[in-house]
Structure 1
Amino acid sequence: MKLKSLIVLLLAGIWGVGSWWWYTCKVKGFCEAGQHATQVAAGTAAGTAGAIATSEKSDADKAAADAQAKADADKAAADAQTKADADKAAADAQTKADADKAAADAQAKADADKAAADAQAKADEEKAAADAQAKADEEKAAADAQAKADEEKAAADAQAKADEEKAAADAQAKADAAAGKITMETNEAAPDTGTGIDPALMYFPSGSANPQLADSAKAYFEKVATFLKDNASGKVTIVGHTDNKGKADKNKALGQKRAEMIKKMLTDMGAPADRIQASSEGPDKPVADNNTEEGRQKNRRVEVTPAK
């Protein structure tokens, strides 16, 4: 703005000097006499205008320099502020990163502590389960041992009772045999008939075909008779055997007579005669030594076998 004013003033000065020169030289004719004065005046005006112009330019340059300096200062301030903002942002980012890392470290430690606690809890649980299983196994072993002991004792008691009963039965059979009665024992060598009634051996006193039944033999025949009456397909096979004393044909007839005697006992108890088969082998199939009385006693037998 100042530069424009200076230019305007300079042009105004030039115009004024030119007008004065035109009027003085051309109109009044004073140029020759006053040429020197005019030159002086023009030089003075020009010097004044140049001084003014120089001053104005200097002011303009100073203003421009001031403006540039201010712009530079503003830019420097802006740069400084930008750098400060960048530094603060970097510091904030670092602070956040440090906080995030601290939080991550804390979380990692918490997770590690929890994992360790869980592992310990699982180990404690597994140990408790193992201890419980070991205790249960120990108790089961003790219970099994006790059960086995009880079972062995029961078996021993049962065997003792069976032995006692067998001894009593043997004593009774011996007494019945001494009294001339028919005695009985289970035929353990015979296969299972599936009837629920065991095959039996009836022992007769020597030379007798019609002796009395011992009580044990009578109870057995009652059971067989009931089986035949209750089962339409049931049958009984009766085979007589003797020792080898005497003639073979007479022993064969004696064995048949004894078998028929057993059959009559069953029919007298209500058993159907057509499902009872009686036969004799005589002395042909001994099961013991005929040279001893005990052996001959075992050979004087009638085999009774129920079947379906």
Structure 2
Amino acid sequence: MLTAVMAAMALMLNPPVEEETTFAAADFNTTVYFDYGRLDLGSAGRLLVTEMGERARAAGYTRAKIVGHTDKAGPEDKNYHDGLQRAEAVAEVLSQAGFTRSELALGSAGETQPARKHEDERREPLNRRAVIEFLSP
């Protein structure tokens, strides 16, 4: 019992210091992956993008850059277009999470910036993605 009283007194004399929580932009940047042949987000991808968008918006981030990527399967010009469609799919979800379309910069890297490199036209799941970078004003 004496130990409990001493612990309570110590807390009264030395209250815990609340640290201010700060977030870096990297805490909100994220990558979302797409199934082969899909240009829309699945339910898990939509949930991830919504959550990250809401958190970033609440932390004061006012803009986002979205770059869509593809694997090397298929023609290069089609892959560029598919990357842009993936960025559009992410932008649609972010607009529902509080970002206006004018706050979103969209782009496509197509097959030119693979997360995992292959010389052939392999269907690489890690390359079918959109990268979201949240930006301050």
TM-score by length of 1: 0.33
Amino acid in the other structure paired with 1:203: Y
Q: Which residue of 1 aligns with 2:51?
A: 222
- Give the direction of change, closer, same or farther, for the CA distance of 1:269–1:234 in structure 2 (3 Å limit): closer
User: Partner of 1:214: helix, strand, or coil?
Assistant: helix
* 2:52 alignment partner AA: K
Count residues with an aligned counterpart: 113
Higher relative contact order (CA 8 A, sep 6+): 2
State the alpha-carbon separation in 1 of the partners of residues 55 and 28 from structure 2: 14
1:229, 1:272 within 8 Å by CA — same for their partners in 2? no
* Residue 252 of structure 1: how far off its partner (Å): 0.3
**Does residue 297 in structure 1 map to residue 129 in structure 2?**
no
> Per-residue deviation at 1:271?
1.8
The ranges of structure 1 where at least 4 consecutive aligned residues each deviate by more than 4 angstroms after the TM superposition are none
Please, which of 80, 91, 99 is the counterpart of residue 252 of structure 1? Answer: 80
What is aligned with 2:43? 213
RMSD: 2.5
Structure number with larger C-alpha Rg? 1
Percent identity, aligned pairs only, is: 24
Cα displacement (A) at 1:278: 1.1
> Equivalences for 1:66-81 in 2 at 5 Å?
none
Unaligned runs of 5+ in 1: 1-192
Aligned CA distance change for structure 1 residues 210 and 249 (closer, same or farther; 3 Å): same
**Bigger fraction of residues in strand:** 2
Conserved? CA contact 2:67–2:109, under 8 Å: yes
Q: CA shift at 1:229, angstroms? A: 6.1
Larger helix percent: 1
TM-score, normalised on structure 2?
A: 0.70
How do residues 2-81 of structure 1 correspond to structure 2 at under 5 angstroms?
none
Equivalent pair of 2:82/2:110 in contact (CA under 8 Å): yes
1:243, CA displacement in angstroms? 0.7
